Chains A and B, each alone.
Chain A
Amino acid sequence: MLNVGKQDKGQSIMEKSEIKTKIRGKLAELAGELGNDVSQIRDDDIIPATGLVDSAGILGLVVWYEKAFDMSLRQEEINIDNLGSIESMADYVLKRKNG
């Protein structure tokens, strides 16, 4: 579990980078199960629209995300605005932890 808490600005940027790396790693694992390569995906690409992971894979990503960052999501929080891209997923971790 990644420890994300209230940080000063400099530390938050570092941690966001670490968060994104972890998300990308998990995404690569899930896409790899379907024989897809996520090395070209950009941080702001909309993950479902890339077609690199299917619905079950995205569900797996969300379940992992909750556990990895120790936060429980309500169903209505699971939407494109909050979790649509690597960037927004990392932002949402920080928003929830620092909010």
Chain B
Amino acid sequence: MPHPVYIPCVNINDDIVLIVDVTVSAGDTVRAGDMIAEVETDKAVIPVEAEQDGYVLKVLCDVEERVKVGAVMMWIGDSPDEPVPESDSTKPDAGAIKTSSQQPTAKARALLDKYQLDAGQIPHQGERLTARDIEAFIAGQGGTAGGANAAQAGSPQGGEELLPGTAGSLRSLSVEEQGMVSTVTWHRDHAVTAYLEMVYDQQAWEDFAAAFAERHKFMLSPLLPLMAYRLVRLAREMPEINTTLVNGQKYCYDQVNLGFTVQVGETLYLTVIQQADTMGDRQFIDALGEVQRHAMAKKLRPDESRDATLGFSSMARWNVSRHVPVLAPYTALMVAHSAPPKGGQPAVLGASYDHRILSGYDVARVLQELTQPPEMS
């Protein structure tokens, strides 16, 4: 019996993904777990694996093709000469991710009315569209239901923008550019952002990192990972920095997912270490190193680039002496590390924060603690 392989749903924001590689062709044998293709979605390249042993019967997509999530990308059979089902099964909407032709639940209907959404545009996994599906969809849109389209386009306060008077041409945004638009739009539309900074002597941190590196024979300086880890520990001591504001209420995260910026070529990724607060320092540094390698290879897993609850950013590599980072969606704090000035002048540690949740005093306390390394264990 032939088995369909569907285009995976990786990010609820992405209805369309780009096929970047297909590693098998008709007639090949595959084993469960073999990588058979790679798809590119918002900020990540995701491997697609065979779910069972068998023979590739037919491949329905091409490299560089943009395809709809849920479409059948290939058929795998138990024997090499099985007939492939006719085209009905290959229609995009026949995939694993359903759109809502079935009846929404009562709570879902209320939310659809409230946010003026069309049920057909919201993916859902179950038999019926639920309130949770809609909330996830809204969250994925940066919480901008009703104005989602305008916000995604980055247009100021909604409405169609006029083209400039000078001759030019339009082109679509890449998935990375779309991710950036989504992030800065959340920052603009939701957070009330403020920034403050503190001068400090980075030498103590550098000494601490050098000793740590020597002890563990590290190839890479652990300075920034150690500072980021210190921030994670502070979030346990000061849980208010690990919160966001949703519908006028404070949402307190149960875990710390640390977002850490990584520049790869011209692309800025916000890599994420999930449940960083459950890790020891060495474990955290190893986890961050692995995620950074995945980012550089453009093979970030979905969980390595989403759901940050707290952020850390550095632009020291480019000798930037001060930067005011944009907040990641649904976070209240992003610490900004910059290059220490030449000539022994004090360095600057800054932070952008959502002033709806945190006060300057809160953030000053965090920065004060962050300017000093912990006691060497």
Contact = CB atoms under 8 A, between A and B. Distances in A.
Interface of A: 47-48, 54-56, 58-60, 62-63, 66-67, 75-76, 78-81, 83-84
Contacts, number: 45
Given A54-B317, A56-B263, A62 B293 contact: yes
Given A75-B289, A75-B290, A76-B286, A81 B297 contact: no
Contacts of B224: 55
Question: Chain B contact residues (Cβ within 8 angstroms of A): what range?
Answer: 10 to 19
B220 interface: yes
Contacts of A63: 293, 296-297
A58 B220 contact: yes
Given A75-B289, A75-B290, A78-B289, A55 B297 contact: no
A75 B286 contact: yes
Nearest to B223: A55
A80 B219 contact: yes
B218 interface: yes
Question: Chain A contact residues: over half helix, strand or loop, or mixed?
Answer: helix
Interface string B212-247: 000011111100100000000000000000000000
Given A54-B317, A56-B317, A75-B289, A80 B218 contact: yes
Given A75-B286, A75-B290, A76-B286, A58 B219 contact: yes
B274 interface: no
Contacts of A54: 317
A48 B293 contact: no
B292 interface: yes
Contact of B216 (A56, A79, A83): A79
Given A48-B220, A78-B219, A67 B297 contact: yes
Contacts of A79: 216-219
Contacts of B216: 79
Contacts of A76: 286
